[in-house]
Amino acid sequence: MTSSLSRRAVAEFVGTLLLVAAVVGSGIMAERLSGGNVALALLANTIATGAALVALVAAFIPISGAHLNPVVTVISAFDGGLPWAEVPAYVFSQTTGGVAGAMTAHLMFGVPFVAIGTHVRSGPAQSFSEFIATFGLICTIWGAVRFRASIVPFAVGAYITAAYWFTASTSFANPAVTIARALTNTFSGIRPIDVPAFVAAQSVGGMGALLLIRYWFPKSSRTPV
Amino acid sequence: MTSSLSRRAVAEFVGTLLLVAAVVGSGIMAERLSGGNVALALLANTIATGAALVALVAAFIPISGAHLNPVVTVISAFDGGLPWAEVPAYVFSQTTGGVAGAMTAHLMFGVPFVAIGTHVRSGPAQSFSEFIATFGLICTIWGAVRFRASIVPFAVGAYITAAYWFTASTSFANPAVTIARALTNTFSGIRPIDVPAFVAAQSVGGMGALLLIRYWFPKSSRTPV
Amino acid sequence: MTSSLSRRAVAEFVGTLLLVAAVVGSGIMAERLSGGNVALALLANTIATGAALVALVAAFIPISGAHLNPVVTVISAFDGGLPWAEVPAYVFSQTTGGVAGAMTAHLMFGVPFVAIGTHVRSGPAQSFSEFIATFGLICTIWGAVRFRASIVPFAVGAYITAAYWFTASTSFANPAVTIARALTNTFSGIRPIDVPAFVAAQSVGGMGALLLIRYWFPKSSRTPV
Amino acid sequence: MTSSLSRRAVAEFVGTLLLVAAVVGSGIMAERLSGGNVALALLANTIATGAALVALVAAFIPISGAHLNPVVTVISAFDGGLPWAEVPAYVFSQTTGGVAGAMTAHLMFGVPFVAIGTHVRSGPAQSFSEFIATFGLICTIWGAVRFRASIVPFAVGAYITAAYWFTASTSFANPAVTIARALTNTFSGIRPIDVPAFVAAQSVGGMGALLLIRYWFPKSSRTPV
């Protein structure tokens, strides 16, 4: 991470753009082709998202650390892996990149450039799902980087592949992606009104994981990648 | 594995919790979405479980060795990889973590917090399947760690992905997971009355693998990871 | 890359042959078996293509660098990774290998040896999709090789797995493969009249990625693998 | 490969047993659950087989080199990687292990212990498919081991995952597995009368790959793993 902050911010923008384009675009393709078979649509959406994460995390770690997720950025800052002064640039790049990614998917599939999500995702089971999803994601990243840094792209892709199915919310686990998905009215969309509870649950999940990480690794450096 | 036993026990608890949440949760999601197509439901359950293992084994190896399975713990103890005195803490953490994982999945999907499995899994073909499943799992772990320690998360995830389909029992291969799955009445459940035969077959399969491992690696250290 | 140019050219021919045989052959098999379920057919085609890329890129990197794609070759030349004088041999081998791969698939499946694609893939959404697909592919390769050279086969396979679903064009992202797919009238075919726009969009996408790569890595060597 | 020949032969037996049990067992499970949807059945069979190869090749490389395939063994001998005197023990172990694997699958699924395959797989398209399948497999193994020995299990698993779909024969590519599959009358079976042409095509494919390998790597050691 010797790149300048502007280079890293552009990387977070491009990486999150491609990630959300993958999530939203594969959701559109999956819904179009699956003829109402929701299990098959979600399976295709899952495989595309997990594979995109393997590729994008591997590609952007050498530039920006491949956070692509405000929770990862904030937990990194708490953990000493990123100066707090750089957090706003990361989060701004991730959020605007995510929104641009939804628009990119819309352009590729010829649907309205901007839309408002109407997919209802509310209630305590959804919030608890996002808590668990993000808690597990942060545990996975911080643990895997200590096993082998080279395994992190696979661990992240594999974790989200699993969490799309094992959480009731299909595991957004990422505030930037959540906001971007509020701007698409397709398979992977979410109502804007449901976003705050998702982001809150994701934040609490990340903080919960941080407490355990501090317990498990009391003295060692905790910077991921 | 320089962590204290309490840190490692918490890791085994959290890791097995997330593993069982993945198995049970993805089973619920798969059954809900697949509209009675059992092959599609099992495929989704398989991909979620295999991917979860890649992520969780990578994440928890640096803390506790990522056993997440009493058979792995006991065979490690026989093999000199873990003091016998630490086995009870590992097995207790795995079993209670597994049960907590089933409850976590139930909370996420809004089904009764605790239930009793009614899925019949009995008979000699089921027991023989669990013997083979666990025998192959232990051979895979102990062999793969000698090839490259970094491949172990992939080898475990890939093995269980295969074994979900090539055994008639869908390869529980883990006493803690088996007990936890007796407490869910969903896709991945099992009747409590069928648990003892599963655990017995898993134990015999693990011991059979240990005999071969001792034949193949007569003098070298046999500690996994 | 100490092999002679002729050895490397043969490797690019054989590698691209096997790649296109995998794309076209798995498309034929998928269409035959899926009984009109396009989502299932594309999922099988996707998994076969992504897996083929993991295997073939791993196999041919030690001989020719495993470009298997004229855009990768040309961007490598711009980037100093391949002498411009060797570009024609690479591109010729890739293109003829790709055509031979389509014919190989036709022979294996007993369909006419040569055919003309009739699958309509035109319009700005398709071109924009190919721009994004190739842009992301080049970013992925050039980023991943800086993370770990050993991850490149996985990053390429994973990226294309995702892009088959997240682009409206199913991500050809490769002029040699595009030309070869104009010579098959099966699941993965394309009308010859649609090829120029695809190749143009792929070229622009590759150049766009090169600009960002030069921004992100201003001084370091940029040769992939 | 410092193990004694007897240890290595037992490893080839156990490894091929588990491999064929995975191929045949997952075929039975897939056919039972898929309700006549052949694409879905083959997809499950594919994922199980590819994943089994990742696990088993990783596990058995440290003991016997994880050939699990007479073509790999014979090409290794031609290439100086295995003494010719040890070839019979390897091939015998692989073949008997494969047959035992089919029986193991039958026991697990409660079908007749031994049967004769009735699945017709004949004609030049099938033979050409087996030629291509084995040619590509040997190129993949011998190339991948020069890239990184650690990638070989993934390259083999990924190659067969692809080849199940891109060849008309679903890519047996292994004489021991072919013989074993003649002794099952389930999804993955083959008529005994079709076995000789398969084995011949596999042998020619392996030899063709060897010629190219000698051209590509003229002086270096060619021993895989």
Q: Please report the residues numbered 126 through 185 in chain D whose beta carbons come closer than 8 angstroms to any beta carbon of chain B.
A: 150, 153-154, 157
Task: Name the residue type at position C143.
Answer: G
Whether D221 is in a domain gets the answer: no
Whether A224 is in a domain gets the answer: no
Whether D224 is in a domain gets the answer: no
Give pLDDT < 50 ranges for chain C. Answer: 1, 221-225
CATH number at A210 reads 1.20.1080.10
| Residue A221 reports pLDDT greater than 70 | no
Query: Distance, in angstroms, between D69 CA and closest chain C CA?
Result: 18
Quote the pLDDT of residue A225: 45
Residue A28 and residue A112 in contact, taking contact as beta carbons nearer than 8 Å:
no
Per-residue pLDDT of chain D (225 residues; tens, 9 = 90+): 468 999 999 999 999 999 999 999 999 999 999 999 999 999 999 999 999 999 999 999 999 999 999 999 999 999 999 999 999 999 999 999 999 999 999 999 999 999 999 999 999 999 999 999 999 999 999 999 999 999 999 999 999 999 999 999 999 999 999 999 999 999 999 999 999 999 999 999 999 999 999 999 986 544 444
| Residue A139 reports pLDDT greater than 60 | yes
Burial C1-23 (b: 16+ CB within 10 A, else e): eebeeebbbbbbbbbbbbbbbbb
Give pLDDT < 70 ranges for chain B. Answer: 1-2, 219-225
Quote the pLDDT of residue C219: 65
Q: Which residues in chain D have their CB less than 8 angstroms from residue C35's CB?
A: 37-39
Could you give the ipTM of this predicted complex? Answer: 0.95
CB contact under 8 A, A47 and C161: yes
Whether B224 is in a domain gets the answer: no
Q: Please report the residues numbered 18 through 57 in chain C whose beta carbons come closer than 8 angstroms to any beta carbon of chain A.
A: 37-40, 42-43, 46-47, 50
Whether D225 is in a domain gets the answer: no
| Residue A32 reports pLDDT greater than 80 | yes
Residues 6+ apart with CB under 8 A from B12: B60, B64, B67, B68, B90, B93, B94, B97
The 10s digit of each residue's pLDDT in D68-105 is 999 999 999 999 999 999 999 999 999 999 999 999 99
The 10s digit of each residue's pLDDT in C161-191 is 999 999 999 999 999 999 999 999 999 999 9
By C-alpha distance, the chain C residue nearest D133 is C18
Nearest to A140 among B21, B44, B59 (CB): B59
Whether A186 is in a domain gets the answer: yes
pTM: 0.96
Whether B223 is in a domain gets the answer: no
Nearest to B51 among A139, A144, A158 (CB): A158
Residue C25 φ/ψ, nearest 5 degrees = -60, -45
**Domain assignment of residue B59, given as a range:** 5-216
As a whole number of angstroms, the distance between CA D32 and CA B68 comes to: 31
| Torsion sign over Cα A225, B5, B6, B11 | positive
C61 Cβ under 8 Å from any chain D Cβ: yes
| Residue A130 reports pLDDT greater than 90 | yes
CB contact under 8 A, B47 and A46: yes
Quote the pLDDT of residue C221: 47
Quote the pLDDT of residue C107: 97
Q: Which chains form contacts with chain B, at 3 or more CB pairs under 8 Å?
A: A, D
Query: Distance, in angstroms, between D22 CA and closest chain B CA?
Result: 5
**Residue D202, both tokens:** 């596999």
Distance set, CA A68 to CA A18, A30, A98, B79 (Å): 10, 24, 9, 42
Whether C221 is in a domain gets the answer: no
- C186: DSSP letter: S
Quote the pLDDT of residue C222: 46
Return the beta strands (E) in chain D as ranges.
Answer: none
Nearest to B55 among A42, A158, A164 (CB): A158
Task: Name the residue type at position D127.
Answer: S
Q: Which residues in chain B have their CB less than 8 angstroms from residue D58's CB?
A: 140, 143-144, 147-148, 151, 154-155
Quote the pLDDT of residue D219: 65
Nearest to B33 among A38, A142, A143 (CB): A38
- Name the residue among C46, C21, C41 with its Cα closest to residue C171: C46
Structural domain tally of chain A? 1
Residues 6+ apart with CB under 8 A from A179: A95, A98, A99, A195, A199
Quote the pLDDT of residue A219: 65
Quote the pLDDT of residue B187: 96
Residue B80 φ/ψ region, left for φ over 0, alpha for ψ in the -120 to 50 degree band, beta for the rest: left
